Amino acid sequence: MPSDERLVMSAVPESFATAFRLIVHADPALVRTVALSLAVSGSACLCAAGFGLASGAWLAVARFPGQRAVLLALDTLLALPSVVVGLAVYLLLSRSGPLGSWGILFTPAAMVIAQTILVLPIVTALARQVVADALREGGDQLRSMGAGALASALLMLLHERWAMATVMLIAFGRAIAEVGAVMIVGGNIDGVTRVMTTTIALETSKGDLPLALALGLVLLVVVALLNVAIALFQRGSGPLAVELR
Amino acid sequence: MTLLRASTLIVLRDASVAYGAVKAVRNATMWVTQGDFIAVVGANGSGKTSLLRLLHGVVAHTGSREMLRPSGVQAMVFQRPFLLRLSVWNNLRIALWLAQPDTATALREERAEQALRRVGLGALRDRPARSLSGGEQQRLALARAWAVRPDILFLDEPTASLDPSAKKDVEALLADFAADGMTLVMSTHNLGQAKRLASRVIYMDEGRIDIDLPTSEFFASGTPGRAGLFLKGQLSWSLEG
Amino acid sequence: MVARGLNQARRRAVLALACAASLAGAPLLAAAQERSITMASTTSTEQSGLFAHLLPAFRQATGIDVRVVAVGTGQALDMGRRGDADVLFVHDREAEEKLVAEGFGIKRTDVMYNDFVIVGPQGDPAGAKGRDVVAALAKIAEKSGTFISRGDKSGTHAAELRYWKMAGIDAPATKVAAYKECGCGMGPALNIAAQSDAYALSDRGTWLGFKNRGNLQILVEGDQRLFNQYGVIVVNPAKHPHVKVQLAQAFADWVLSPAGQQTIASYKVGGEQLFFPNAPR
């Protein structure tokens, strides 16, 4: 239909212009929303790093009955839909649920919990793979130097720290881009739990597509700036550095 | 046949190593005496590496392996050393920490310092270990091993991947270690190297220890059987200088 | 410096503990926001912009912060049942009274009403235009015009089903008029209607704020039956002791008071008043 095409055709350049305006004017509400997105997803990744990297390393060296089942379950959880995580955490944190007495439903804390659960499988599975590969290469020699299984695994975590940084970048991308979990457990409350993705969803549902697209562009710009900062910090090695030979 | 002396370190009696259906070492009987510099030679697949691992005690085996000094310290150096993505200095410190976790930090650091100087890598201390040349990396591996003051040092084809000048450097270090009284067991397919460095040569063929002689006797003419052919370069290996 | 391996493990343990601690600290943080209540309301109400106008006035008068979770009416009432909200502000009288009868709400009071409209394509192929919503639906069914329903248990959806029933048509079951249920909010439903040149029932507030109209325009309005009554309910502490009953009651009292009712009336979009206060005096 002609009206559809006109709609789409005008939406795209309009959103670039809107995005530019939003960034330049740094509207305080927008800045707050962006800051909350970064804080929630960043915190979730920190927590996931704490548990996930260690568990992944441990899984690479552990030997126990039912290990294959555990690894299978872990790989399956990689495909966990964010909405499902949101629902599960909501039911846990609801006042009628087992952890209702915590009273943290519809707060950023609940969003951090949900996103941590969401990215934990990614961090664990990838950490396990990286450590297992590294051990295949040098595990024998570490053992001959006197390293036990766990020490070897942790040394390999250190050895592959740049790969781990990439893993965390992947996890962060997954977290900051998701909307299902934070929408349900956060409630998208204006000024309290409204993040970039839920704002985009809201504007879309209100029919303001150019604004929704513009916000999407703003989010991408913020993440790009973050990556630039990381690249500058790396000094030659690491996930965003380019090898010069 | 030399008698068992008080300075014997390891004895193998009829020991065998198998990986699944493949027999890597068959019925090996030998001993390692303090001060020996043993070169284990033979074609690829003859079981040199497995014999080393057997002596080092890191592989399952049948038969008997006795360590006559159970508290003895052993270290092993490999053809391609595995170095962590850290500085030379940190690689050394971690190696020392792994081997001697109960030693005081200051003492460990002192030993690391000494080892670095021993192999001549003092200037490269803060460089990323993986940025070193092949020869320098192997010298670092030797520093790692030497730092723990091993009674026996095992080396699995330590110079096979090195260029001639790096090979000379490493050989010089090994000769030094031997002169200091360290016991070394080294596998190599470089007969010239065996002749230069070793006090004793073990020739392996298809998992069996065929010959076990002092170096001069091994290289004397008239060595019988396949060993003789091997020496003449008429098996799959040529005599390397 | 002690060697890395165990240190790394220790560092990670500390990190994990820090996370747990910061999360455990959250309830303390929440407690710090004592002067706030959670209100479950509907997406259409929030999207109309009413709360951005109403709640700051309430905060100024009482110092109480109202946090709005906007979901469908069905979900909002469920939140009340689960005790996840302190006060409810929805527009489905039957469902609200049921909730109070079940004991989850203290009492239900009329607050305000807005109205529904039927929107449709400019050409009006089914000839639905007029002031009679039931007749319009009958014509849409007869002429097989496409109709988009929210199908999400919302107040709007409940109203829509009531009108179909009045017309004697069981729209969802008999699939008349290329009836499409999207299971979505008012905005997305209007989006779909605009894209497919279809008819839809919308609240006036969302329609006024909707920017993606395409070919759509209001075809049916002014029918008394299209009035959409809002009710406010304080969640019953007998069922959920943690409910902030005093603060929630303060909100209910204020919104029913002359000050609150006046604030509602003063909310305008494009010069038009959206909500008409009708609290009992």
Q: Is the pLDDT of residue C1 over 50?
A: no
Closest CA to B183 of B2, B9, B15: B9
> According to CATH, where is 3.40.190.10 located in chain C?
35-113+229-277, 115-226
Q: What is the per-residue DSSP string for chain B? A: -PPP-TTEEEEEEEEEEEETTEEEEEEEEEEEETT-EEEEEESTTSSHHHHHHHHHT-S--EEEEEESSTT--EEEE-SS----SSBHHHHHHHHHHHH-TTS-HHHHHHHHHHHHHHTT-GGGTTSBGGGS-HHHHHHHHHHHHHHT--SEEEEESTTTTS-HHHHHHHHHHHHHHHHTT-EEEEE-S-HHHHHHH-SEEEEEETTEEEEEEEHHHHHSTT--HHHHHHHTT-SS-----
pLDDT in tens, B74-106: 999 999 999 999 999 999 999 999 998 888 999
Superfamily of domain A36-195: MetI-like (1.10.3720.10)
Q: Is the per-residue pLDDT at A172 higher than 50?
A: yes
Q: What's the whole-number average pLDDT of chain C?
A: 86
Fold that domain C35-113+229-277 belongs to in CATH = D-Maltodextrin-Binding Protein; domain 2 (3.40.190)
Averaged in consecutive runs of 10 residues, what is the pLDDT profile of chain B (241 residues)? 68 90 91 93 88 90 85 89 96 94 91 94 94 95 94 94 93 94 93 92 91 88 72 57 43
| Contact list, C18 vs chain A (CB under 8 Å) | 46, 50
Record: contact C1-B97, CB cut-off 8 A = no
Contact assessment for residue A88 and residue A180, using Cβ atoms and an 8 Å cutoff = no
Beta bridge partners of residue B153, listed in sequence order: B75, B184
Mean pLDDT, to the nearest integer, of C133-149?
88
Cβ of residue C5 closer than 8 Å to a chain B Cβ: yes
* H/E element, C148: strand C147-149
A27 touches B at CB < 8 Å: no
B48 within 8 A of B187, measured Cβ to Cβ: yes
Domain boundaries, chain A: 36-195
Average pLDDT over residues C29-43: 77
Asked whether B209 and B46 are in contact (CB, 8 A), the reply is: no
Hey, which CATH number is domain B1-72+152-241, 3.40.50.300, 2.40.170.20, 1.10.3720.10, 3.30.420.40? 3.40.50.300
With beta carbons under 8 A apart, name residues in chain C contacting B105.
1-2
C58: tokens are: 């309430």
Question: C-alpha angle A134/A138/A140, rounded to 5°?
Answer: 130
Which of B170, C41, B20, C17 shows the shortest CA–CA distance to A54? C17
pLDDT of residue A237: 63
Range C115-226 classified under CATH 3.40.390.10: no
The nearest alpha carbon in chain A to B83 belongs to A138
CB contact under 8 A, C5 and B90: no
C-beta neighbour count of B163 within 10 angstroms? 11
Provide, as residue numbers in chain B, all residues whose Cβ is less than 8 Å from the Cβ of A146.
98-99
Nearest-angstrom CA–CA distance, C64 and C245: 13
Q: Which of residues 120 through 159 in chain A touch C, CB cutoff 8 A?
A: 147, 150-151, 154-155, 157-158
pLDDT of B238: 41
ipTM of the complex: 0.85
Decide: C164 and C170 in contact? Cβ < 8 Å: yes
Please determine, for residue C30, whether its predicted confidence score (pLDDT) is greater than 60: no
What is the predicted pLDDT for the residue at A7?
53
CA dist C88 and B165 (Å) reads 84
Question: Has residue C8 got a pLDDT over 60?
Answer: no
The mean per-residue pLDDT over the stretch C123-130 comes to 89
pLDDT band with cut points at 50, 70 and 90 for residue A63? very high
Q: What does pTM read for this prediction? A: 0.82
Confidence of residue C245 (pLDDT cuts 50, 70, 90): very high
Cβ-Cβ contacts under 8 Å for B157 (sequence gap 6 or more): B48, B49, B79, B187, B188, B189
pLDDT of residue B241: 43
Mean pLDDT of A109-128: 97
pLDDT digits (tens, 9 = 90+) for C52-99: 999 999 999 999 999 999 998 889 999 999 999 999 999 889 999 999
* Per-residue pLDDT, C32: 43
Res C50 pLDDT > 90? yes
- Integer CA distances (angstroms), C132 to C13, C113, C170, in order: 68, 19, 18
What residues of C are in contact with residue A187 (Cβ under 8 Å)? 38, 67, 69-71
Q: What is the pLDDT of residues C148-196, one digit of tens each?
A: 998 887 778 888 998 999 988 887 777 665 788 888 878 888 988 998 8
Return the pLDDT at C209. 77
Band of residue A231 on the pLDDT scale cut at 50, 70, 90? confident
DSSP code of C87? E
Average pLDDT, rounded, for chain B: 88
Dihedrals phi, psi of A136, to nearest 5 degrees = -60, -35
Q: Which of C2, C4, C5 sits opposite B105 (nearest CB)?
A: C2
In which element (H, E) is residue C88 found? strand C87-90
> Phi and psi of C230, rounded to 5°?
-100, 145
Cα radius of gyration rounded to whole Å, chain A: 21
Q: Which chains touch C (3 or more CB pairs under 8 A)?
A: A, B
Rg of chain B (C-alpha set) = 18
Mutate to test the interface with A, among C6, C15, C46, C186 (most CBs of A within 10 A): C15
Side-chain-facing half-sphere of B225: CA atoms under 13 Å: 8
What residues 150-209 of chain A have any CB closer than 8 A to a CB of chain B?
151, 155, 158-162
Rounded to whole angstroms, how far apart are CA atoms A47 and C23? 10
Q: Across the strands, what pairs with B155?
A: B77, B186
- Phi and psi at C199, nearest 5°, equal -90, 155
Phi, psi of B78 (to 5 degrees): -110, 170
* pLDDT exceeds 90 at position C214: no
- Contact between C38 and A192 (Cβ < 8 Å): no
Contact A142 B82 (CB under 8 A): yes
Residue A2 has pLDDT above 50, yes or no: no
CA distance A50 to C279: 54
- More confident: A245 or C250: C250
Would the CB atoms of B105 and C5 count as touching at under 8 Å? no
